[in-house]
């Protein structure tokens, strides 16, 4: 190790505490949770990519669950904490991907040699970057119209949650999530792809 950076050290107690505070609307709690979740997401990604290379695929839900268990220690996991952890994870994941996509998207403007080298190395295609930026903007528009549907999509698409887990997090019935999902999907598809 060349150097270690200062890093917020968060214990499991703090995790449940921060999740609780976040649920209470404390933005600062999210700020503190983010680096923790970010590191965890990277770990998940690492495993995911490795398994994928070996020809296996893993359920992302299982991985996120595992991350939570790791962070929360071996204590009994309350569904509320777990739910909020999922929600934070989805939110952070969205943030990371969209941020990357935006940079990728707008960076296309430049054209110097160095940039081209970077361009080739990037794991995200321009096409994909475009899709993500469009999806994010459409999701934001949807949030204004119908916040819960946008949450459903964030949890399912960026958080990798199942319908059941999404229902648990949002404290609504499975039926509601299913109905939200089909309509949100249609709406977003239309927004992203233009008029039909």
CB-based contact 79:168 (threshold 8 Å): yes
Contact pick of 70, 103, 164, 174 for another protein (by CB under 8 A): 103
**Please, how many CA atoms are within 13 Å of residue 182, restricted to the half-sphere of its CB?**
5
Burial class (CB within 10 angstroms; exposed 0-12, middle 13-18, buried 19+) of 175: exposed
Q: Which is nearer to another protein, 45 or 69 (CB)?
A: 45
Backbone angles phi, psi at 116, to 5 degrees: -60, -40
Q: Does residue 84 interact with another protein by CB under 8 A?
A: no
- Minimum distance, C-beta of residue 106 to another protein, in the bound complex (Å): 8
By CB under 8 A, residue 17 contacts another protein: yes
Q: Are 38 and 92 in contact (CB under 8 A)?
A: yes
Distance (Å, whole) CA 169 – CA 19: 13
Task: By CB under 8 A, tell whether 25 contacts another protein.
Answer: yes
Question: How many residues line the site for another protein (CB under 8 A)?
Answer: 106
Q: Which of 62, 106, 164, 174 binds another protein (CB under 8 A)?
A: 106
Q: Should residue 166 be labelled a site residue for another protein when binding is judged by CB under 8 A?
A: no
- The C-alpha atoms of residue 175 and residue 195 are separated, in whole angstroms, by 28
Q: Is 55 one of the binding residues for another protein (CB under 8 A)?
A: no
Residue of 23, 65, 69, 163 interacting with another protein (CB under 8 A):
23
- In whole angstroms, how close is the CB of 14 to another protein at the nearest point? 8
Tell whether residue 116 is a contact of another protein (CB under 8 A): no
């Amino acid at each position: 190790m060349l150097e270690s950076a200062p890093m917020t050290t968060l214990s499991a107690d703090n995790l449940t505490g921060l999740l609780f505070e976040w649920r209470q609307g404390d933005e600062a709690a999210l700020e503190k949770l983010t680096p923790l979740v970010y590191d965890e997401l990277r770990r998940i990604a690492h495993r995911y990519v490795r398994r994928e290379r070996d020809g296996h695929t893993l359920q992302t839900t299982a991985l996120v669950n595992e991350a939570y268990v790791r962070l929360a220690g071996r204590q009994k996991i309350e569904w509320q904490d777990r739910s909020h952890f999922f929600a934070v994870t989805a939110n952070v994941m969205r943030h990371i991907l969209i941020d990357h996509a935006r940079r990728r998207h707008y960076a296309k403007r430049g054209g110097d040699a160095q940039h081209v080298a970077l361009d080739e190395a990037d794991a995200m295609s321009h096409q994909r970057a475009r899709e993500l930026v469009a999806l994010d903007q459409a999701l934001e528009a949807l949030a204004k119209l119908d916040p819960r549907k946008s949450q459903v999509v964030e949890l399912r698409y960026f958080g990798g949650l199942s319908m059941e887990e999404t229902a648990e997090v949002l404290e609504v019935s499975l039926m509601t999530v299913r109905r939200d999902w089909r309509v949100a999907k249609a709406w977003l598809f239309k927004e992203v792809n233009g008029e039909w």
